[in-house]
Amino acid sequence: MHILIVEDDDVARDYLAKALREVGHTVDVAADGLAGLHLASSIAIDLAIVDRMLPKLDGLALVQSLRATGRKLPVLILSALGDVDDRITGLRAGGDDYLTKPYHMSELLARIDALARRGDSGNAERNTRLRLADLELDRMTRRVTRNNKKIELTAREFQLLEFMMRHSGQVVTRTMLLEGVWDYHFDPQTNVIDVHISRLRQAIDKDFDKPLLHTVRGAGYSLREDE
Amino acid sequence: MVSPEQRFLGILDTSPFRIAIVYSIVFACGAAALLGAVDFAVSRVVDGSTDNLIEAEVQGLREQVLVLSRSDFIELIEQRSQDQDVRGAVYLMVDPQLRPVAGNVPAWPKIDASEGKWIQFKVSVPFGDETREHEMRAQRFPLPGGYHMLVGHDVQERLDVKHLMMRGLIAAVVLTLLLGMGGGFWMGRRILAQAGAISAVATQIMSGDLSRRLPVRNADDEINTLAREINTMLDKIEQLTLGMRTVLDSAAHDLRTPLNRLQATAEGAMNQLVPGSAERRVLERVTTEVDHMRGTLDALLRIALAETGTVAREPVDLSELVASMVELYAPVSEERGITLHSAVAPGAEVLGSRQLLAQALANLLDNAIKFTPDGGQIRVLLKGSRGAPEVIVEDTGPGIPADKRELVLGRRVRLDEARKFPGSGLGLSLVAAVTKLHGARLVLDDAGPGLRVSLKF
């Protein structure tokens, strides 16, 4: 994937570029808003990571300009501001996701992955049936089966599983789950998400040979068929 | 939307309408007193002159009866009765059996009155083709030989005038009251329209839109002057708030940026090291500390944000929020063997920030789970209706001593008893700030045993 990083803080930018290259992305960097906008309009880019406060052209203005020219590429906004409202402003300006500094690289990578695949998971969005290996989820009948055996889930477990299945094969972090399933944007002190996940795991993996729901150490969870 | 009936009742409640009513009542009383005084004076003059006239006539006839023979006296009475110049004068002479002998009154009135007293009676008088009952005022006196004499005057006209005056008086009072109410209603409507426009803007300002200003018309009345002054005040508040927000934003930026560098540097170095090595463990501790700092910073910024009141507000379904928070925390408390009870009244709605309210509830539930011993209980209640809901979180933990409840709401206060538990000590201060932002009241109480936290909206 070709990723553009627009970030004025060189330490953060260099580490981000290095980390993205290490996982196999092509990376272009810009240190201010104008250079970023110029790069974004001149070369083919799959995804942009834009810092919110940039010299010359503000990050939000950059995203708005991009959107005004009809560019639909996914944009992740990085912000060193407060939060709550800033997040909403960022998303309204045309950002697809919003991450507050300081962040863990694993969190950023997981979110980029989710953003990149959102384009081709558009089908999954419309699909009423999601499937992974022998696990099936029907959004219309709200029925979940594994190996044709019906699995009883609570309403929230169903939502959680649906979210995981839409992101199957990707790493999903705890904050992504809290945002995506509950629509909350804070870090709970207690391990609330882990307990919900372990209940879901009980329901879908316990009576079957091959586990599908995996814990990714230091990052989050992943629903995938193990090779 | 306000119904026409409510709007009407609203006008009745305005101060101009009340003032107008009070003034029209005072004015009506004044008018009534004035007319009453005029009526009293007029009747004294008119009644007095009539009575004098009758008394003089009685006196004259008393003298005549002494010098005249009975037949001459009868003739005199007949003569006076027919006299067209003396309009309204009435005479009646009766024999001892009270049968009329002379005069212009058909019969002796059936009123028993002694000599010298005033008698009032009605007599039918021809009035065009009909007859009318006229009020008469008269005196009687005895004549020689057991005869009686009645001398009086028609006072109907005088009464008519009096009635007319009374009717005029009542009409004047009623008209004054009606005009006063009408005027008050009109002024009340004007004031209500202006006040309505002002309170609509005030609501928008309170919901976070600080750029709004009160409507000012091109006039120098009190309301416009007041509106202008309030607008100047709002300008200052907006400047101050924006200033605070800017300070907050730059503080956030200046703290988050180096923290982010620290995180990036540590993570970058960590990836070069073999997992499990001593150096890597040091760096892992560094990133853990960055996480803690971030947590504290987030909490502080959210508290400051809530305290500046610059957070955008929107209608929040409190019932849904409380239910979903309970649902979020149910598994983790079950894991600890804690029973989480909840009773959530439906339809509770408040104006505010869903995220901040969620954070506050999360802090309360985090605390409750942290301090409640295994096998304990937590109760989450949402009481009350749309207007004034109350959220209560109760636990069976150690509680907070009464004298320290005020203290824990302050910044970074951790009681000695709580030091063995992890946490920043900002949890309850965030709850307090968020409660204040939403115009709610935070009360810490004894759940006997345990802590009872109540948020009254």
CATH number assigned to the domain comprising residue A98:
3.40.50.2300
Domain enclosing residue A47, as ranges: 2-118
Residue A5 has pLDDT above 90, yes or no: yes
Report if residue B291 sits inside a domain.
Answer: yes
> Could you say which of B257, B285, B307 is where a domain stops?
B307
Confidence of residue B76 (pLDDT cuts 50, 70, 90): confident
Quick check: B327 and B340 in contact, CB under 8 A?
A: no
| CA pair distance B29, B14, nearest whole angstrom | 23
Q: What is the pTM of this model?
A: 0.69
Domain count, chain B: 2
* Average model confidence (pLDDT) across chain B: 83
State the helix-helix crossing angle for B354-371 and B427-437, rounded to 10 degrees: 150
Q: Do B332 and A101 count as a contact with CB atoms less than 8 A apart?
A: no
Report pLDDT for B407: 74
pLDDT digits (tens, 9 = 90+) for B162-180: 788 788 888 888 888 888 8
Q: Which residue of B has its CA nearest to A189?
A: B366
Each residue of A161-172: pLDDT tens digit?
Answer: 999 998 888 899
Q: What's the confidence (pLDDT) of residue A78?
A: 92
pLDDT of residue A177: 92
B260 and A80 within 8 Å at the Cβ level: the answer is yes
For residue B300, the chain A residue with the least C-alpha distance is A82
Contacting residues of A for B260, CB less than 8 Å apart: 9, 12, 80, 101-103
**φ/ψ of residue A114, rounded to 5:** -65, -40
User: How many Å apart are CA B398 and CA B402, to the nearest integer?
Assistant: 12
Domain encompassing residue B288: 222-307
Element (H, E) at A4: strand A2-6
> Given an 8 Å threshold on Cβ–Cβ distance, is A102 in contact with B256?
yes
Q: Mean of the pLDDT values across residues B343-359?
A: 90
Report ipTM for this prediction: 0.88
Residue A120 has what pLDDT? 60
d(CA A187, nearest CA chain B) in Å:
8
Q: Tell me, yes or no, whether A199 and A107 share the same domain.
A: no
Task: Tell me: do A29 and A130 sit in the same domain.
Answer: no
Looking at the structure, tell me whether residues A52 and A139 fall in a common domain: no
Task: Give the pLDDT confidence score for residue A123 in this predicted structure.
Answer: 56
**Does B423 lie at the interface with A, CB-CB under 8 angstroms?**
yes
Mutate which: A7, A88, A195, vs B, most B CBs within 10 A:
A195
Average pLDDT over residues A64-69: 89
Q: Could you tell me the pLDDT band of residue A124, with boundaries at 50, 70 and 90? A: low
pLDDT of residue A6: 94
Between B15 and A101, whose confidence is greater? A101
Residue B310: pLDDT band by 50, 70, 90 thresholds? Answer: confident
Distance from CA of B452 to the nearest CA of A (A): 20
Burial of residue B162 (number of CB atoms within 10 Å: 0-12, 13-18, 19+)? middle
Q: Which two structure tokens, joined as six digits, stand for B319?
A: 């019932």
For residue B304, list chain A residues with Cβ-Cβ distance below 8 A: 82
Which of A100, A118, A136 is the C-terminal boundary of a domain?
A118
Enumerate residues 6+ apart whose C-beta is below 8 A from A147. A134, A208
Q: What is the average per-residue pLDDT within B318-325?
A: 93
For residue A121, what pLDDT is reported? 54
Cβ pair A117, A170 in contact under 8 A = yes
Whether B253 and A192 lie within 8 Å, measured CB to CB: no
pLDDT at residue A119, as a whole number: 63
Single out the residue in B307, B340, B368 at which a domain terminates: B307
pLDDT at B2 over 70: no
Q: Is the pLDDT of residue B279 over 80?
A: yes
What is the sign of the dihedral through the CA atoms of B70, B71, B76 and B78?
Answer: positive
Per the domain annotation, does B129 fall within a domain? Answer: no
Give the one of A88, A190, A199 whose C-beta lies nearest to B366's C-beta: A190
Distance CA A202, CA A194 (A): 12
Q: Does B357 touch chain A (CB under 8 A)?
A: no
Over the stretch B240-251, which tens digit does the pLDDT of each residue have?
Answer: 888 888 888 888
